Amino acid sequence: MSVPSVVLNNGHKMPILGLGTWGSPKGEVAQAVKDAIDIGYRHIDCAHVYENEHEVGEGLNAKIQEGVIKREDVFITSKLWNTFHDPRLVRGACETTLKNLNTPYLDMYLIHWPMAYKEGGPLFPKNDKGEILFSDVDYLDTWKEMEKLVDDGLCKSIGLSNFNKRQIERVLGACRIQPGTNQVECHPYLNQKRLIDFCKSKNISVTAYSPLGSPNRPWAQPGDPVLLEDPKITSIASKYKKSPAQILIRYQIQRGIIVIPKSVNKKRIAENFNVFDFELNADDIALIDTIDCNGRFVPLAGAHGHPHHPFEKDEF
């Protein structure tokens, strides 16, 4: 079956369901991409900082060579990392991603976070105390370079990730090409209703990362709430004879949100795709909405204090 798409503000179509690759173990990503394409996924979400784009490219190109897909059948997103915000570095960073993915263009390229880090060193540059070293590049200057990537055919669409309302407004006030999407952490504990309503009012689509509550995040602590085990989610899952993960993915699809669950397990990749044969009713959605608690699993605490950190001063 073909996955429904969201039409972006430039007319390009972005499949509403994709495969996330953040935290996918090295050595397993190429196979996960191959499995996902065989199952029917046509949207893969990547990023330079995940350090596995060469494996994504391997899986993707294997399926192109087999004739299962053509390049234009798949929507590929990647993200510009924080150490490459300097306008002089943007194009080179994009070209590195294209080389790693072994593809001539990206369908979507996002500024991964609004904060810039010190250029020219590791992905997480730190001082002697282990604190992240910041750069003072303004993301508006970065955005101007992102626009040139579209002009030159390296990217079909560009967008944002982890930007708050005020930051999006700044980009909209200065841009020549509007952001196509804002990719943010989004799940029932952090349902992002206000930010989604704002983005929709500006004709910007929203992509939900960590839609299952990021159960494999490396910094999880014993006793942290587990979204997949929330009694309200599990009760709805048993009602529909679906898994909690399928309920969480379906919830986003019915809100018109693009959703990118991550897995390298073939059975789960298939299960996460099998969400188009049922529909949650209005009562289910209302019940899921009651568990919102502004519960963020990916706070990027190491960058607190950065003037462009999106989660410190602003409401949403």
pLDDT score recorded for residue 137: 98
Q: Which residues pair with 257 in a beta bridge?
A: none
pLDDT score recorded for residue 205: 98
pLDDT score recorded for residue 315: 86
pLDDT score recorded for residue 114: 98
Using CA atoms, how far apart are residues 111 and 162, in angstroms rounded to an integer?
9
User: Residues 114, 167: contact at Cβ < 8 Å?
Assistant: yes
pLDDT score recorded for residue 21: 96
Check whether 308 is labelled as a binding-site residue. no
Domain at 5-303: CATH code = 3.20.20.100
Predicted structure pTM score: 0.97
Per-residue pLDDT of 214-233, as tens digits, reads: 988 989 999 899 999 999 99
Q: Indicate the domain borders of the chain.
A: 5-303
User: Residues 73, 43: contact at Cβ < 8 Å?
Assistant: no
Per-residue pLDDT of 268-299, as tens digits, reads: 999 999 999 999 999 999 999 999 999 999 99
3-state helix, strand, coil in the chain (%, to 5): 40, 15, 45
Mean pLDDT (the chain) is 96
Q: Is 50 among the catalytic positions?
A: yes
Average of pLDDT values for 91-100?
A: 98
Is 146 exposed, middle or buried (CB count within 10 Å of its CB: 0-12, 13-18, 19+)?
A: buried
Per-residue pLDDT of 1-60, as tens digits, reads: 789 999 999 999 999 999 999 988 889 999 999 999 999 999 999 999 999 999 999 999
Give Dmax (Cα) for the chain: 54
Per-residue pLDDT of 60-73, as tens digits, reads: 999 999 999 999 99
Catalytic residue (choose from 50, 105, 117, 139): 50
Give the dihedral sign, CA 204/210/213/217: negative
pLDDT at 164 over 90: yes
- Quote the DSSP letter at residue 123: S
Name the least confident of 35-49, 58-72, 181-195, 302-316: 302-316
Judging by DSSP bridges, how do beta strands 75-80 and 106-111 pair with one another? parallel
Average of pLDDT values for 74-83?
A: 98
- State the pLDDT confidence band at 148, using cuts at 50, 70 and 90: very high
Close Cβ partners of 301 (under 8 Å, ≥ 6 residues apart): none
DSSP labels, 15-83: ESB-EE-TTPPTTTHHHHHHHHHHHT--EEE--GGGT-HHHHHHHHHHHHHTTS--GGGSEEEEEE-GG
Q: Which residues of 157-189 are buried (b: 16+ CB within 10 A; e: fewer)?
A: bbbbbbbbbebbebbeeeeebbbbbbbbbbbbb
pLDDT score recorded for residue 153: 98
- State the pLDDT confidence band at 313, using cuts at 50, 70 and 90: confident
CA atoms within 13 A on the CB side of 93: 27
